[in-house]
Every structure is written in C-alpha cells, then in structure tokens.
Amino acid sequence: MKKVSKLQRQIFTITTALALFIILLLGISISSILYTQGIDGAETALRNKNRSVTTLILGYFAPLRQAIEYSTSPDSGIDHSRFEEHDTRQAILNLFEVLQKTIPNVNYIFSGYEDGSLLINNYTPPADFNAVDRPWYQAALDMHPLISDGMPYQDIISKEWLVSFGKTLLNANEEIIGVLSIDAGMDTIIEALSVKDQHYPTVYNYVLNTQGMVLIHPDEGMRDTFHQGIYAHLPSADVTRGSLNYRDEGRQFLAHFDRIETLGWIVVTEVNLADIRQPIMKTIIFTLLMIVTGSLLATWLMSFVLSRHIIAPLKKLQNRVQEITEGRGDKISEYSFPNNEIGMISEAIEQLTENALIHKNVELKIKNLQLDALSNTDQLTEIANRRKMLEIIQAEINRFDRHKTPFSIFMFDVDHFKRVNDTFGHDLGDQVLIDIARVVRSSIRRTDTLGRWGGEEFILICPETELNTAHNVAEKVCSAIRHHAFPANLSITVSLGLSEFRSGHTLETILAEIDQKMYRAKQNGRNRIEI
C-alpha cells in the first residue's frame, strides 16, 4: 500500500508541474494572440468605418460637382461673359432654380463676377457687397481651373453647417470673369461621422484639410484648429489611405485615414488606444483565469483518474495478462471530445458578410447606372447629349469597318433661334428646343437616335440606312417641325445637312461634312436640306 501511495503522490506532483508549465506557455501564447487579434479587429473596424464614411461623402458630393461642371461649361447654353445683360442674368437664375430643385442637398447656388456683383435667387446682397472679396471667390481663384476644395462653414442665421464649392467662369478668351459656387448642407455628413460603432463605441471620425486644419469634428472646440498630433504622422500626399499609430498629449491613438483628393479632405477615423487595450486586457485576464482554473481542475481530475485507472490495474496485472493471453481482455473505449463549433460560426458569419457585400455591390451598380444615365442625357431635352452621340457614331463606324454596314447621319440647326430668345426670352426658347426634341423623336424610326449637339443644334443617326432612305427621314423631320404648333404661334424651321458614311470617312470628317452642309443650307435660304 505504501508503494501505491508514493506512486499516487508522484503522479500528482508530475501532472501538476506539467500543468503549470503548460499554463505558462499557453498564457504567454494566448495573451499574445488575443492582444494581436484585438488590435487587428480594432484596425479592421476603423478601416471599414472610414471606408464607409468616405464612400458616403463621395456619393453625397458627386452631384454637386457635376452641377458645377455643367453650369460652368458651354453645355449649359449660357454665356457668363454676358452676365450684365438682363436675359443672360435671368437665364442664369433660371438654371440655378432648376439645379436647386433637381439636387435636394443644394442650399444655395450663386455666381459672383469681377465687377463685384452677385447673382442669386431670393436674396439681395447689401449695397457694399463685393463678391471678389468673399472667401469662396478667392478659393476658386486659387484652384483655377479646378473646382475648389470643400470649405465647411456655419450659416450665421440658421446655424446650419454648410460646405462650399466653386469654379471659375471664363470668357471666350479663357480669361476669368467670375466664380460659380454651390453651398450644400452637411447635416447628413455630420450625422454619418457621429454614428457610433456597435463594438467600439469610443471610435470617432473627423475631417482635415490638406494643411491639417480640422474642418469637421464631433468636438466643436476642435473645429478650425491645427491638428499637429496626426498631421505630423501622415505620410506624403501620394499615399491616399492607410493606418497609423501616433501619440498626442500623452495619449496613444490608433487611426485610419483616407484622402479625398477631389474635395481636398482627409477623412480620419481614430480611437484612443487605451479604450481598445482595456477590453482586450479584461478578455486576456478572464481567459487566463479560466485556463488556470480549468487546467488545474483537469490536472487534478486526471491525476485522480490515472491513479484509479493505472494503479489499480497494476495490482491485477498478472491476472490481466493471463486474461489477455486467453483472449478474454476487456475492450478499451476511446475518449471522444466535444466537437468545436467555431468553424460553423465562422462559416455563418462569412456567409452573412458575403451576402451583405453582394447587396452593397448591387446598390453600387444601380447608382453607377443612374450616374451613367445622367452623364449621357441632355438635361433640358432629355435626349442623348453630345458625349453619348459621339459614342454611338463611333460604334456605327466600327460596325461599318467590320461589316460595311451603311449608315447615315444628319445635323440640323433651328433657324433664327437667337431671334426667338431675344424676342420671347430663354424660357420660351428652351420650350421650343424641348418641343423639337419631342416632335422629332415621334417622327423617326425606332432604330434612329436623336441627340442634342449643343445650343440649338441637333444630330440624328440612322443605322443601316443609305442616303436616299435617310433623305426621306430628313424630309419627314423637317415637315414635322414645320407643321408643329409651337408656343406663341411661332413658325419654326430648320436647316439640315445630310451625309452617308462611306469608305474614307472618319469621325472627324463626317462631322465636319454635315456641319458644312448644314451651314450651306442656311446660306442658301434656310428651311432646306443639303445633301
């Protein structure tokens, strides 16, 4: 019995020492793994949060920048160099009104000119107001010929936070004559920046400009201040996004940044590293306590079980050997451990994430299709714009090069359209263009494509159509316009140039040819077709 007791003590001592050694190794390894995973998880949360906020900002301001580009381009049909003329000023204000109704987040849209004057709806500037001295005007001059960086400011009256974008206006000699600016509300952006993360509630977002000045911050006291702490650690401007770890005023921060070059903004998502370390350390301590307790209990239980299942059989070793040699030995059951469900949980989470990403990709695809439609459609007449027509013409040329499939193209211009605008105003002139687009679309074939080329010029593409057939289409178009009842009992006619694309033609030569024919039709008396 004494020998048995000594063996029990030896088994207990050995298993306990082995358990303590394993606990030490496991403690070091698990602490390192848990800490690394905790920091990695925080970095992933920061990166995802930052990416979602940046995507929201880009999508929010894209229509505003498109509106600025359109309003300052010849496609708008407005010559800003004639801003002193009443009709031009009215056309500009009408355009501003349309854009404000079309784009919900536009608060103000206005233009200032080199003489200090300001054009804006529903507002009369003070007598001593000088647009040239305003910050938005100077910002646009500094960024010429690009759109100025977003300039957040708080409205004096409503206390609402707004952001301003501007671009210079040029005359025919490419000289700056003024600035067009759009102010948009920032409530949606500020709310998005303020949304708390479910797993990391102390994570917060803010926005810097390229000089390190704070533009948007949940702490209003930080706005319009220089953030030396993070700005000193940001990499060069060619690094558009990334993570960094920096110390500021004795505190360590973990951050992710994303540069929005089109706005001149740097979106930062960060968290105090102490706020991340505290729950990580709690998890490590709790895990280690569980491991120590469980390991010791398991070791002592194993020692007790081994004592019973090893020492007792030793006493009966002789009988057991005899029984085994006689083929009467008991079978030993194998231990089966519980299955680990982490694999199934991980698979479920991955599937949920994949489904969410697929859903977001579908939404992004729909948004891209909508943006593509906006970029290819003339906003006034709702037909194809010049860009889209160039794509269609090039596609027909490519088809002609491959299969020699004929097609015809003609361009027409509204006769005496300037007289209509000067006499009846640009609103009626716009209605005439809208009516022409509607009349022509109803009189052409389904395979034909009508587009607005610019101003009062239109272009029509007739696929798989030779010259004679295209001439019939042109006659039908001219007749439909001639007999249409336009506003103010106007009698509208067009001058049209028609050509069939042939070998030797290029995109440039066919366009030049129909343009020359159209002007020859005007020189020969208008209201006619030149082939």
Residues tagged active-site: 456
Looking only at the bridges linking them, the beta strands covering 407-414 and 449-454 are unpaired
| CA nearest to 193, candidates 203, 184, 185, 181 | 203
In SS3 terms, 369-409 reads as HHHHHHHCECCCCCCECHHHHHHHHHHHHHHHHHHCCCEEE
Question: What's the CA dihedral at 326, 331, 332, 335 to 10 degrees?
Answer: 170
- What does the radius of gyration of the chain's CA atoms come to, in whole angstroms? 38
**Token pair in block for residue 466:** 């030779």
| CA nearest to 61, candidates 267, 240, 363 | 267
Is residue 427 a contact partner of residue 94, using CB atoms and an 8 Å limit? yes
Pairs from 370-373 (Cβ < 8 Å, separation ≥ 24): 371/62
d(CA 383, CA 453): 10
DSSP assignments along 110-138, one per residue: EEEETTS-EEETT----TT--GGGSHHHH
Residues pairing with 343 in the sheet: none
Is residue 239 a contact partner of residue 230, using CB atoms and an 8 Å limit? no
Q: What are phi and psi of 528, to 5 degrees?
A: -155, 170
**Token pair in block for residue 180:** 């067009």
Give just the sign of the alpha carbon dihedral 356, 358, 359, 364.
Answer: positive
